[in-house]
Structure 1
Amino acid sequence: MATQLQQRKYEKAFERFDVDRDGVLQRNDITAMAKIWRETFAVAEATEEAIRIDRLAEQLWQDITSATDADADGTVSKTEWNQAMERPEFVDKVALPFALAVFDLADKDGSGRLSVQEMIAAQSRSGISEQETRRMFDALDADHDGEVHRDEYASAIREFYLSDDPNAVGNLMVGDLD
């Protein structure tokens, strides 16, 4: 059973995915996210990178619905979402690969690391403020080298979904939880 903290985190994550804010996740939410990614990272239509983003979005939708759409109605309710979040296999097979795909898009030079500016660009379009992103970046940059490494990011994503520790760094992954 999810703790109150975990429940807040799941709902906040749901809000980030529910692009049209209608209270359910649908394919059009994920399609809209793909469009946002292309715009954020200045990816021209019909390019190899645009096709890759669209494929990632389609795979994300398939993964989300196969893991969460209990009533097979083609939408994902908050209840279905919250129940899926409690399962580590959902985190490992859906949430983490999605988060790392976005990380890779933001990592324009392919270094496996994000600068604070790359992270701000990636997070701002999903509704996370620059201030929240800077706080997240500082917490994730455990070795204080001015970059967030892919493995630091992945660890924080897992922690976000699975930890009930109120002081966990991963809690910052979707912005303020209040």
Structure 2
Amino acid sequence: MPLPQAEPQAAPADLTTPKARIYAMLDTDGDGVASKHDYFVRIERAQRATGRADDDPLVVAARATGERAWAAMDANGDGVMTYQEYISWVDAEKFDTICQYALGALFDLADADEDGALDRSEFTLLREALGNRADNAGSAFDALDADGDGRVGRAEYLASIRAYVTGDGSPMGDALY
């Protein structure tokens, strides 16, 4: 039996909380709600930015993990995830079982040499494709590149996003948002 459809409600204008900031980023067209189109346009942007073909295995994986993530987030199947639905849904367990795979697949798209790490240009390309401002990607990269080797590994990238989403504090999240 389908769940009742929620009336779309815009995110709050006050974007000081991590969840509000992330939700606003997910709302790629800026209409106040995150739709399935909004969610998948981020994958399309990452694909275009990396120059990968539709049948590239990494693009296929990104779409598949995106489909699983969207299905979990849009539990009532109405094609819209309201802000209230998002903040009620997202937590550490959801990040660990759903979000990290979708975000990891996007990371993999940007990892041009497939070495498990992004250099500064790959990181900036990914963050811009996902809807982050271009002017702060450098400071976010620096916050994550703790050893100063000019690379950000997949695990540290995902851990930083997890920390930001769950409210544990994230140097990258603080710099990006």
Bin of the TM-score, shorter chain as denominator length: 0.7 to 0.9
Matched, 1:84 2:89: yes
Summarize the alignment of residues 109-148 of structure 1 with structure 2, pairs less than 5 Å apart. 109-148=113-152
The equivalent residue for 1:48 is 56
- Aligned partners of 2:144 and 2:157 also within 8 Å: yes
Deviations 1:132-171 (A, max 9, x none): 1110110101111111112211221211111344xx3142
Partner Cα distance (1:40, 1:133) in 2? 15
Gaps of 5+ in 2: 1-14
- The TM-score with structure 2 as length reference comes to 0.79
Summarize the alignment of residues 99-118 of structure 1 with structure 2, pairs less than 5 Å apart. 99-118=103-122
User: Once the 2 structures are TM-superposed, how far is the Cα of residue 44 of structure 1 from its aligned partner?
Assistant: 2.9
- The TM-score with structure 1 as length reference comes to 0.79
**What is the count of residue pairs matched by the alignment?**
164
Gaps of 5+ in 1: 1-5
Q: Which moved more, 1:87-96 or 1:121-130?
A: 121-130
Deviations 1:21-65 (A, max 9, x none): 2222222223322221221111234x334xx42552353243233
Deviations 1:64-97 (A, max 9, x none): 332x335443321010001112x22111122211
Partner Cα distance (2:60, 2:35) in 1? 15
- Aligned partners of 2:61 and 2:105 also within 8 Å: no
Matched, 1:172 2:177: no
Partner Cα distance (1:16, 1:57) in 2? 18
- Aligned partners of 2:65 and 2:105 also within 8 Å: no
Partner Cα distance (1:59, 1:151) in 2? 17
SS in 1 for 2:147: coil
User: Once the 2 structures are TM-superposed, how far is the Cα of residue 103 of structure 1 from its aligned partner?
Assistant: 1.1
The equivalent residue for 1:150 is 154
Amino acid at match of 1:93: T
Percentage of pairs with the same residue: 25
The equivalent residue for 2:21 is 12
Amino acid at match of 1:12: R
Which of residues 60, 65, 71 is equivalent to 2:66?
60
Q: Any runs of at least 4 consecutive aligned residues in structure 1 with deviations exceeding 4 A, and if so which?
A: none
When the two chains are superposed, the root-mean-square deviation of aligned CA atoms in Å is 2.5
Partner Cα distance (2:61, 2:115) in 1? 22
SS in 2 for 1:172: helix
Amino acid at match of 2:65: Q
